[in-house]
Amino acid sequence: MKTNTIKPLPLQGYTIFEIGQNVAAPFAAQILADLGATVIKIEKPAGDDARHWGPPDWEGASAMFQTLNRNKQSQVCNFRDPQQVEQLRKQFIAQADVIIQNFRPGVLEGLGLDEKTLRATKPELIYCDMGAFGSGGPLSDLPGYDPLMQAYGGLMSVTGEPGQPPVRTGYSVIDCGTGMWAAIGILSALLQREKMQDGAHVEVSLFETSLSWMQVASAQHMSSGQVPGRHGSGAATIVPYRAYQTADGHLVVAAGNNGLFARLCKVLAHSEWAEDERFANNPQRVIHRNILDELIQNELRQQTREYWTAKLREANVPCTPVQDTAEAFGCEQAQALGVMQEVPDSAMKFMGLPIRLDGQRPAIRLAPPALQPLTEESLS
């Protein structure tokens, strides 16, 4: 008889220290915490800056901080106090499997908490540096934030409507993307350590993440010599592939090949469009995108997005309404997936880890930590 057994989370037994603040490092550490690691968040006496990035606040800190710091413990360190720094160094050597840090370059080197210093004593340590512009190069010592990297890495140049000012994506995709790369690098280093019995120096940066999100744009530029521009909700190389206005909201239609385009034309009662030489294949549709988009738009605005969603899905044409936050998290699909998770000993609910292991999403085990004042016991 087959019995159900509860498996331990994959990172159970590993101890990770996060010397980080704002978004990127906390997000990286939270991914690993959700996967079972013990994560100790080292904070300055005033706490992570993101604790105060509100309103809205939620149970003692900004909602932004709370959603990035579950499943962690908090420990204060006054980095200007040599005794506390030395105690922290000893704690790292004794307990740490992984250290994640996103302080400004040079700060931790001056305190003896950098990768070279710590791994000289503990070579099996995995140390992850999360920088702004990356190590090496004339900008390596500069600080960086998500909007700066969306600008400098080119993402703003392809985001927004043609002819309009640069637009930042709604939330911190560069910070979160860098956190994901850090988590991937750390997991890879942990696997390597099992084989080689040695640690690693993992390096990621906001700028490199921004460039990585531009890999399609860079390939298009390298191959054509042309600089990609903005296409609003659409795509540079696929038509129709954008949001259109309906009678009561926007609907994204993604008819990315000739068969899907023909089905779209049939639903819109214009099968002749699929035979028009201007729209006969995707390259021609890209060339004549303005004409085709206007034709499609004129039809879709005649009915509601619910009407067109039903019609297009019945015809197996990929489409979806543009939902706001309440709609997205309240929709039937999100509810069925159980993405929102309750927080123990709290009224808060957060989006859970978007991973399921053997059908189970790792549960939130700990509420985001309150800032823990330093005590004599902490230093002993």
Q: Check which CATH number belongs to the domain holding 295 and give it.
A: 3.30.1540.10
Question: Looking at residue 25, which CATH number applies to its domain?
Answer: 3.40.50.10540
Question: Is residue 121, in this structure, part of any structural domain at all?
Answer: yes
Counting the structural domains of the chain, the total is 2
Residue 378's pLDDT is: 52
In a domain, 197, yes or no: yes
Q: Which residues contact 191 (CB under 8 A, 6 or more apart)?
A: none
Looking at the fold, whether 103 and 209 belong to one and the same domain comes out as: yes
Same domain, 109 and 174: yes
Structural domain boundaries enclosing 88? 15-213+341-379
CA–CA dist 19, 41 (Å, integer): 6
Task: Report pLDDT for 376.
Answer: 56
In a domain, 244, yes or no: no
**In this structure, are 49 and 101 located in the same domain?**
yes
Query: Do residues 115 and 197 share a domain?
Result: yes
73 and 170 co-located in one domain: yes
What are the C-alpha distances in Å from 306 to residues 69, 156, 184, 296?
38, 32, 39, 16
Q: Are residues 76 and 151 in the same domain?
A: yes
What is the set of active-site residues?
175
- Beta-ladder partners of 126: 98, 200
Domain match, 358 and 311 both: no
Q: Is residue 3 part of a domain?
A: no
Give this prediction's pTM.
0.91
Q: Looking at the structure, do residues 45 and 189 belong to the same domain, yes or no?
A: yes
In-domain check, residue 143: yes
> Which residue, among 36, 43, 98, 33, has the nearest Cα to 68 in the 3D structure?
33
Nearest Cα to 250, choosing from 233, 236, 265?
Answer: 233
CA distance 16 to 24: 15
**Same domain membership, residue 34 and residue 120:** yes
Mean pLDDT (10-residue bins), the chain, 380 residues: 69 96 96 98 94 95 96 95 96 97 91 96 97 93 93 94 92 96 98 94 97 93 92 92 97 97 98 96 96 98 97 97 95 95 96 94 95 62
pLDDT of residue 1: 43
- pLDDT given for residue 84 in this prediction: 95
pLDDT computed for residue 105 by the predictor: 87
Tell me: do 348 and 316 sit in the same domain. Answer: no
| The two three-digit tokens of residue 362, written as one number | 């790792």
Residue 104 domain flag: yes
Specify the long-range contacts of residues 200-203, CB closer than 8 Å, at least 24 apart: 200/126, 200/127, 201/115, 201/119, 201/127, 201/129, 202/126, 202/127, 202/128, 202/129, 203/128, 203/129, 203/131, 203/134, 203/135
Is residue 315 assigned to a domain?
yes
Are 142 and 208 members of one domain? Answer: yes
Is the residue at 249 inside a domain?
Answer: no
Asked if 39 and 155 sit in the same domain, the reply is yes
